[in-house]
């Protein structure tokens, strides 16, 4: 474990205005895994998506039937609309915390990138403005940003270098009826294609896989417009081992030259291990921003 080195004391002084120079917060060693107000290191299954994540809001108007936030102890914080996390006084305070924690962890964030978001959707009308403000900060500090959304992903046109730092992603299930507040899967596919046509390295999360056939059909639609595919099953659902293995083989037949990440639980259900998969099947530490 790394040394704490008075991080919490300095943070309190900064928020109270005693420390006025943000540079004074640089290069502070903190506990790992890091858990700040804006930034944190995900654990468990979420770690398969990103080493760093940012959650400004809890709750989501996509209102997906299968959302993990509606289950267990997390359901206490879930609402069918996004709410700013209680640790933030307001949006101004949220972005100040974001900048502070970015500078503290800047080197690691530049190496690993950051994902928006696990507890809401960054492209909702209520969340988009704060996300865009954070995106500008990340771009100015050369921190790669990954987004995962069920909205119609807005095409963000900015500096010429922006596609090197923004990696738009969409969740595709093919089950519009289970995602009543989200954009249709067809709209999400259209958004991914549009962003890819504007030179963004797009990616898709096929999780949860509810219908093998629907998932295969969507892979066919986006395989030429995505640079990374992540695939996982529905938590707690029952799957036939043979059908899962056949599904994996069909995916491998369709995608031969682009990286695929099969989540650990999917491979376990199929009785397969990662080391026997083709070379384009990557591990959890694969990063699009390192693939130039």
b/e burial code for range 25-41 (CB count within 10 A of at least 16 → b):
beebebeeebebbbbbb
Round to whole Å and give the CA distance between 255 and 81.
36
Q: Select the highest-mean-pLDDT range: 24-28, 76-80, 219-223.
A: 219-223
What confidence score (pLDDT) does residue 185 get?
98
What confidence score (pLDDT) does residue 163 get?
86
Round to whole Å and give the CA distance between 84 and 89.
9
What confidence score (pLDDT) does residue 249 get?
97
What confidence score (pLDDT) does residue 187 get?
97
Query: Residue 292 pLDDT more than 90?
Result: no
Query: Residue 226 pLDDT more than 70?
Result: yes
What confidence score (pLDDT) does residue 31 get?
57
What confidence score (pLDDT) does residue 283 get?
96
pTM over 0.85: yes
**Structural domains in the chain plus CATH codes:** 7-287 (3.80.30.10)
Query: Residue 10 pLDDT more than 80?
Result: no
CB atoms within 10 A of CB 198: 14
What confidence score (pLDDT) does residue 11 get?
59
Summary mean pLDDT of the chain: 90
Query: Residue 171 pLDDT more than 50?
Result: yes
Query: Residue 144 pLDDT more than 50?
Result: yes
What is the mean pLDDT of the segment spanning 133-144? 96
Strand, helix or coil for residue 232: strand
What residues are paired with 39 via a beta bridge?
54
b/e burial code for range 113-141 (CB count within 10 A of at least 16 → b):
bbbbbbbbbbbbebbbebbebbbeebbee
% of the chain with per-residue pLDDT over 90: 78
The 10s digit of each residue's pLDDT in 209-224 is 999 999 999 999 999 9
What confidence score (pLDDT) does residue 149 get?
97
What residues are paired with 261 via a beta bridge?
230
What confidence score (pLDDT) does residue 30 get?
54
Higher-pLDDT residue of 26, 256: 256
Query: Residue 86 pLDDT more than 70?
Result: yes
Round to whole Å and give the CA distance between 107 and 280.
28
What confidence score (pLDDT) does residue 24 get?
52
Supply the DSSP symbol for 257.
Answer: S
What confidence score (pLDDT) does residue 241 get?
97
Task: Quote the crossing angle between the two packed helices 212-222 and 241-254, to the nearest 10°.
Answer: 10
Per-residue pLDDT band for 2 (boundaries 50, 70, 90) equals very low
What confidence score (pLDDT) does residue 29 get?
52
Per-residue pLDDT band for 126 (boundaries 50, 70, 90) equals very high
Measured in whole angstroms, the distance separating CA 31 from the mean position of its chain's CA atoms is: 23
For residue 275, count CB atoms less than 10 angstroms from its CB and return exposed for 0-12, middle for 13-18, buried for 19 or more: exposed
Round to whole Å and give the CA distance between 101 and 107.
11
Which among 1, 39, 40, 8 is positioned nearest to 25, based on CA atoms? Answer: 8
% of the chain with per-residue pLDDT over 70: 89
Query: Residue 89 pLDDT more than 50?
Result: yes
Round to whole Å and give the CA distance between 111 and 190.
30
∠ CA 211-215-218, rounded to 5°: 145
What confidence score (pLDDT) does residue 179 get?
98
What is the mean pLDDT of the segment spanning 14-19? 50
């Amino acid at each position: 474990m790394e040394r704490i080195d008075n991080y919490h004391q300095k943070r309190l002084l900064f928020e109270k205005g005693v420390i006025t120079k943000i540079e004074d917060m640089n290069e502070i060693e903190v506990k790992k895994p890091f858990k700040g107000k804006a930034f944190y290191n995900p654990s468990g299954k979420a770690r398969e998506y990103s080493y760093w994540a940012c959650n400004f809001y809890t709750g989501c108007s996509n209102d997906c039937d299968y959302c993990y936030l509606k289950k267990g102890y997390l359901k206490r914080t879930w609402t069918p609309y996004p709410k700013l996390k209680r640790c933030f006084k307001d949006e101004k305070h949220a972005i100040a915390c974001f900048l502070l924690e970015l500078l503290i962890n800047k080197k690691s964030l530049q190496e690993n990138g950051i994902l928006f978001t696990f507890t809401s959707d960054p492209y909702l009308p209520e969340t988009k403005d704060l996300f865009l403000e954070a995106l500008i900060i990340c771009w100015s500090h050369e921190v790669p940003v990954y987004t995962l959304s069920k909205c119609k992903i807005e095409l963000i046109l900015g500096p010429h270098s922006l596609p090197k730092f923004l990696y738009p992603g969409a969740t595709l299930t093919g089950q519009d009826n289970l995602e009543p507040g989200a954009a249709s899967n067809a709209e999400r596919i259209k958004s991914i294609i549009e962003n890819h046509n504007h030179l963004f390295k797009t990616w898709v999360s096929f999780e949860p896989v509810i219908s093998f056939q629907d998932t295969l059909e969507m892979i066919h639609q986006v395989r030429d417009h995505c640079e990374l595919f992540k695939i996982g099953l529905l938590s707690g659902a029952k799957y036939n081992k043979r059908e899962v293995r056949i599904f994996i083989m069909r995916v491998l037949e369709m995608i031969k030259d682009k990286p695929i990440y099969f989540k650990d639980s999917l491979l376990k259900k199929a009785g397969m291990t990662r080391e026997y998969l083709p070379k384009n099947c990557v591990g959890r530490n694969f990063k699009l921003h390192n693939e130039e």
